[in-house]
């Protein structure tokens, strides 16, 4: 039987972790974490953008997580100047469970394996992932000239989010003829891969119109990518078998950004938002993906703060969808007095549809991702 452990509230736990290394070791013990997760959901601690001052923007008052976010910001160090120098530095790919996934800036080899690093802002420790084996890269070497393999993305696999010492990294590459996925496991220390042509998926993509993957979402072991010019479809990848299929979207979704989430009881929730302004946020629940798109339940419209002219998705994790809201100039391109044009981040809790302001970004450039406390610091 596991020993009885007192379980403080999230804000107190964050402050306790920041106090000293001994307390930090205690609250990262697997037995303690299992008890903690049974009582408290993950905390939204802020957003990361390495192009911003300090790299981390903590959750701000009056949000209930602001005290814990301040304690975490005091304990963490998002500076990465101690990491090996790579070209122009490192850029952010993803963050999950206390880890940050990094890629060298300006260095995405077209047919070679890009270098990836996993960084812990609390310990300042980092791990350089091994390169993708040449034998696996061979699956893309015979498709088109090397200049076509320019797009690359990387993210953590959310399906192992509750494992303290384990993680998987999903890498995505594409060219005008095909797509390839490579998955790294910290358990095996190796890579697996799969690839497929656009023609096999029935996307009928012309070489000059590569379906750039604009948005990623995840549900029940599958990753989904929005694609441009994809005939109203989303690309679906089984992360374990790395098998590719497509999902038919409801009519007229080619001009919407779409994100799938876990809606509970095996059902898929679908958020969508128009590319153009003004753009209401819509939500519907699919009983399963095999049902006809025209038979989906009626969409629910979610009200977003009206002070912002347009919104885009910034990711989803642990029962939340994250959005960034931006103000547009109100009069002949001039900013309204007293209002910042920097983006503002919001969370939407899937269970309650409650929308909350998280923080104001310090920068309006570079990739940004939410940072949550599921591993509890």
* Cα-only R_g, the chain: 21
pLDDT of residue 242: 92
How many alpha carbons fall within 13 Å on the CB side of residue 4?
Answer: 1
Q: In what order do the strands lie in the sheet with 267-274?
A: 256-264, 267-274, 281-286, 300-302
CB under 8 Å, gap of 24 or more: what pairs does 212-216 form? 212/151, 212/174, 213/151, 213/153, 213/172, 213/174, 214/257, 215/257, 215/258, 215/259, 215/313, 216/153, 216/155, 216/315
Alpha-carbon distance of 184 to 262, in angstroms, equals 24
Task: Give pLDDT, residue 185.
Answer: 93
Alpha-carbon distance of 128 to 339, in angstroms, equals 41
Phi, psi (degrees; rounded to nearest 5) at 359: -170, 165
How far apart CA 151 and CA 110 sit, in angstroms, is 8
- What pLDDT, on a 0 to 100 scale, did the predictor assign at position 66? 93
Amino acid 97: pLDDT: 82
For residues 218 and 235, the answer to whether their CB atoms sit within 8 Å is no
User: For every one of its 377 residues, what pLDDT tens digit does the chain have, with 9 covering 90 and above?
Assistant: 444 445 555 556 666 666 666 766 666 666 666 666 667 778 899 998 876 556 889 999 999 999 989 988 888 888 888 888 776 778 888 998 888 999 887 655 555 677 899 998 888 889 999 988 888 877 665 555 444 555 778 899 987 655 556 899 998 887 777 888 999 999 999 999 998 888 888 876 655 555 555 578 889 989 988 765 556 788 899 998 999 998 888 877 777 888 999 988 888 999 988 766 566 789 998 876 554 444 556 678 898 888 887 788 888 888 899 998 887 654 334 444 445 567 899 999 999 999 999 998 877 666 788 998 755 44
Backbone angles phi, psi at 256, to 5 degrees: -120, 145
Half-sphere exposure of 107 (CA within 13 A, CB side): 15
Count CA atoms closer than 13 A to 245's CA, side-chain side: 9
CA–CA distance, 48 with 370 (Å, rounded to integer) = 6
Residues 6+ apart with CB under 8 A from 63: 44, 69, 356, 357, 358, 359
Handedness of CA 11, 14, 20, 25 (dihedral sign): positive
Smallest Cα–Cα separation from 273: which of 307, 300, 313? 313
Q: How far apart, in whole angstroms, are the C-alpha atoms of residue 248 and residue 202?
A: 12
CA dihedral 154, 156, 158, 161 (to 10 degrees): 180
Q: What is the DSSP string of 181-209?
A: EEEEETTT--EEEEEEETTTTT----TTS
Q: What is the DSSP letter of 158?
A: G
Q: What is the pLDDT, as a whole number, of residue 78?
A: 86
- Residue-wise DSSP of 307-365: T-SEEEEEEEETTEEEEEEEPPPSBTTBPPTT---S-EEEEEETTTTEEEEEEE-S-SS
Q: Are 153 and 216 in contact (CB under 8 A)?
A: yes
Inter-residue contact 160 to 127 (CB < 8 Å): no
Rounded Cα distance between 367 and 312, Å, is 13
pLDDT of 333 reads 43
Whether the bond between 278 and the residue before it is cis, its omega within 30 degrees of 0, is: yes
Query: By 3-state DSSP, what share of the chain in percent is helix, strand and coil, each rounded to 5?
Result: 15, 35, 50
- Hunting for tokens 């009983």 — which residue is that? 287
């Amino acid at each position: 039987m596991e020993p009885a452990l007192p379980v403080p509230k999230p804000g107190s736990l964050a402050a306790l972790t920041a106090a000293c290394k001994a307390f930090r070791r205690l609250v990262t013990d697997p037995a303690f974490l299992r008890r903690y997760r049974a009582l408290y959901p993950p905390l939204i601690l802020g957003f990361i953008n390495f192009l911003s001052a300090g790299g981390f923007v903590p959750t701000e008052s009056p949000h209930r997580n602001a005290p814990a976010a301040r304690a975490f910001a005091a304990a963490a160090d998002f500076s990465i100047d101690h990491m090996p120098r790579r070209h122009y530095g490192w850029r952010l790919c993803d963050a999950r469970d206390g880890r940050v996934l990094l890629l060298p800036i300006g260095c995405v080899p077209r047919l070679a394996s890009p270098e990836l690093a996993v960084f812990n802002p609390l310990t300042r420790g980092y791990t350089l992932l091994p390169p993708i084996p040449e034998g696996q890269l061979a699956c893309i070497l015979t498709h088109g000239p090397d200049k076509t393999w320019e797009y690359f993305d990387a993210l953590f696999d959310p399906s192992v989010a509750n494992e303290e010492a384990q993680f998987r990294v999903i890498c995505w590459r594409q060219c005008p003829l095909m797509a390839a996925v490579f998955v790294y496991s910290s358990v095996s220390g190796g890579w697996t891969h799969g690839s497929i042509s656009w023609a096999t998926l029935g996307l009928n993509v012309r070489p000059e119109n590569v379906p750039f993957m604009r948005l990623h979402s995840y549900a029940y072991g599958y990753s989904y990518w929005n694609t441009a010019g994809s005939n109203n479809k989303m690309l679906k990848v089984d992360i374990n078998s790395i098998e590719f299929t497509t999902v038919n979207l409801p009519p007229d979704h080619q001009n919407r950004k779409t994100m799938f989430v876990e809606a509970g009881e095996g059902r898929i929730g679908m958020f969508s938002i128009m590319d153009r302004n003004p753009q209401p946020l819509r939500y519907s629940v699919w009983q399963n993906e095999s049902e006809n798109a025209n038979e989906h339940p009626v969409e629910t419209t979610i009200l977003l703060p009206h002070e912002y002219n347009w919104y885009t998705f910034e990711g989803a994790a642990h029962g939340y969808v994250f959005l960034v809201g931006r103000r547009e100039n109100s009069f002949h391109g001039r900013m309204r007095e007293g209002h910042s044009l920097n983006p503002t981040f919001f969370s939407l809790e899937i269970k309650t549809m409650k929308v909350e302001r998280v923080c104001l970004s310090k920068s309006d450039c570079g990739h940004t991702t939410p940072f949550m406390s599921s591993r509890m610091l």
